[in-house]
C-alpha cells in the first residue's frame, strides 16, 4: 500500500517552517489617521481662534475701539437717532497717550459725574452669569463697555475760559474771542428753534447763556455740533466739575465712520479757535 494514502484520502505534506511563519493582515491606514486628522484640525481651529481673540483684545484695549453714536447731538458730523442706522465710529485710543486733546477734536468719553447719566441704563444683563460673559466679551469689543460713553467736540482746554451771551451776538467765545464753527448746520438750529416754539436753538448761543467757566488744567470743555440739541458741558455747569471733562475720562479720538457704508469716511478735527 502507498504510504501517502490512508482510508482512501490523499494527504498533503505540511511544511513545518511555513506553519510557524507570522501571519500579516493588511489594514486600511486611513482608519487610524481619521481620529488624528480630526484632532489636528480642531487644534488648528483653536489656535486660530486664540490668535484672533488675542489680536482683538490688544487692538481693543490699546489701539482702536468701535462705538455706536447714541443720539443726534453731533449731527451732521455724526448721525444718531432712535430707530435709524446709527453711525458706528472707530476711536483711536493711542493718540492721547502721547499728546493732549486739542480744540476741535471729536472725542468719546466716559460720563465723569452722575449728572451726565440722565436716562442711561447699563447694557448688562441682570443675570450674574450672563453679566460676567458680557464683561468678558467687552474685552474683545464684542459687547459694549459697562459705562455711559458720550461723543462731543472739544471746544476749550485747561486754562481757557469759555462763555456765551446771547445779548452780545458773538456766540461761544474762548478767552473772549468768538469761535469759527463751520461744523454747525445753522439751518438745523433754526428748524429746531421753530419746531420747539423757541424753546431750543435760539440766539447766537443756540441755547441759554452760560459761563464764564475757566476750564481746570487736565480737563476740557465739550459741546455737540448740533448745538441746540445737545446736553453737553453747558447742561452740567452745576456739577462738581462745572461741566468739564477730565482728560483721564476720555476714551479716545474719533477717527472715522465705519458704518453705514454710505457714510464711511474720516472724521477730521476743525479747530474753532483758529
The secondary structure of residue 213, as a DSSP letter, is: E
Q: Pairing between strand 5-6 and 88-92?
A: unpaired
| Choice among 1-5, 18-22, 154-158 with the minimum mean pLDDT | 1-5
Query: How far is Cα 48 from Cα 40, in angstroms, rounded to an integer?
Result: 12
Mean pLDDT confidence for 176-184: 97
Q: Which of 56 and 5 is assigned the larger pLDDT?
A: 56
Count CA atoms closer than 13 A to 12's CA, side-chain side: 2
Query: pLDDT class for 249, splitting at 50, 70, 90?
Result: very high
pLDDT of 132 higher than 90: yes
List Cβ neighbours of 57 (8 Å cut-off, separation of 6 or more). 139, 140
**Catalytic hit among 73, 138, 230, 233:** 73
Question: Looking at residue 185, what is its pLDDT?
Answer: 96
Q: What is the pLDDT of residue 154?
A: 98
Spatial contact of 70 and 81, defined as CB atoms under 8 Å apart: no
Question: CB neighbours of 159 closer than 8 A, spacing ≥ 6?
Answer: 214, 215, 217
Task: Pull the grid cell for residue 207.
Answer: 441755547
Choice between 176 and 274, residue whose per-residue pLDDT is larger: 176
Q: Retrieve residue 146's grid coordinates.
A: 459697562
Using CA atoms, how far residue 80 sits from 72, 76, 166, in Å, is: 5, 9, 28
Establish whether 73 is a catalytic residue: yes
Reply yes or no on whether the pLDDT at 5 is more than 50. no
Asked about 152 being catalytic, the answer comes back as: yes
Return the half-sphere exposure (C-beta side, CA atoms, 13 A cut-off) of residue 9: 4
Q: What is the percent of the chain where pLDDT is above 90?
A: 69
**pLDDT score recorded for residue 250:** 98
Is it the case that residue 195 has pLDDT exceeding 70? yes
What is the rounded CA–CA span in Å between residue 266 and residue 257? 6
Asked if the model's pLDDT at residue 160 lies above 90, the reply is yes
Q: What is the mean pLDDT of residues 39-56?
A: 87
Instruction: Enter the pTM of the model.
Output: 0.80
Tell whether omega for the bond before 212 is within 30 degrees of 0, i.e. cis: yes
Catalytic residue among 93, 138, 152, 230: 152
Amino acid at each position: 500500500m502507498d504510504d501517502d494514502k490512508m482510508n482512501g484520502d490523499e494527504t498533503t505534506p505540511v511544511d513545518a517552517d511555513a506553519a510557524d511563519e507570522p501571519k500579516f493582515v493588511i489594514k486600511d491606514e486611513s482608519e487610524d489617521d481619521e481620529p488624528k486628522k480630526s484632532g489636528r484640525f480642531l487644534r488648528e481651529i483653536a489656535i486660530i481662534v486664540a490668535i484672533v481673540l488675542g489680536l482683538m483684545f490688544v487692538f481693543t484695549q490699546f489701539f482702536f475701539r468701535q462705538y455706536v453714536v447714541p443720539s443726534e447731538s453731533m449731527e451732521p458730523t455724526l448721525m444718531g437717532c432712535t430707530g435709524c442706522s446709527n453711525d458706528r465710529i472707530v476711536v483711536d485710543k493711542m493718540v492721547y497717550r502721547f499728546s493732549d486733546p486739542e480744540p476741535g477734536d471729536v472725542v468719546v468719553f466716559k460720563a465723569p459725574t452722575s449728572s451726565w447719566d440722565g436716562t442711561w441704563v447699563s447694557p448688562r444683563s441682570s443675570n450674574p452669569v450672563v453679566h460676567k460673559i458680557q464683561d468678558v466679551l467687552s474685552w474683545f469689543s464684542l459687547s459694549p463697555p459697562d459705562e455711559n460713553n458720550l461723543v462731543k467736540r472739544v471746544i476749550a482746554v485747561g486754562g481757557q475760559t469759555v462763555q456765551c451771551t446771547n445779548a452780545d451776538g458773538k456766540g461761544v467765545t474762548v478767552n473772549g474771542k468768538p469761535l469759527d464753527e463751520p461744523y454747525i448746520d445753522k439751518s438745523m438750529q433754526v428748524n429746531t428753534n421753530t419746531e420747539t416754539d423757541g424753546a431750543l436753538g435760539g440766539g447766537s448761543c443756540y441755547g441759554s447763556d452760560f459761563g464764564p467757566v475757566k476750564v481746570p488744567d487736565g480737563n476740557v470743555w465739550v459741546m455737540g455740533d448740533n448745538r441746540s440739541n445737545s446736553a453737553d458741558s453747558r447742561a452740567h455747569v452745576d456739577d462738581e466739575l462745572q461741566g468739564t471733562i477730565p482728560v483721564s475720562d476720555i476714551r479716545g479720538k474719533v477717527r472715522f465712520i465705519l458704518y453705514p457704508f454710505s457714510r464711511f469716511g474720516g472724521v477730521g478735527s476743525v479747530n474753532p479757535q483758529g
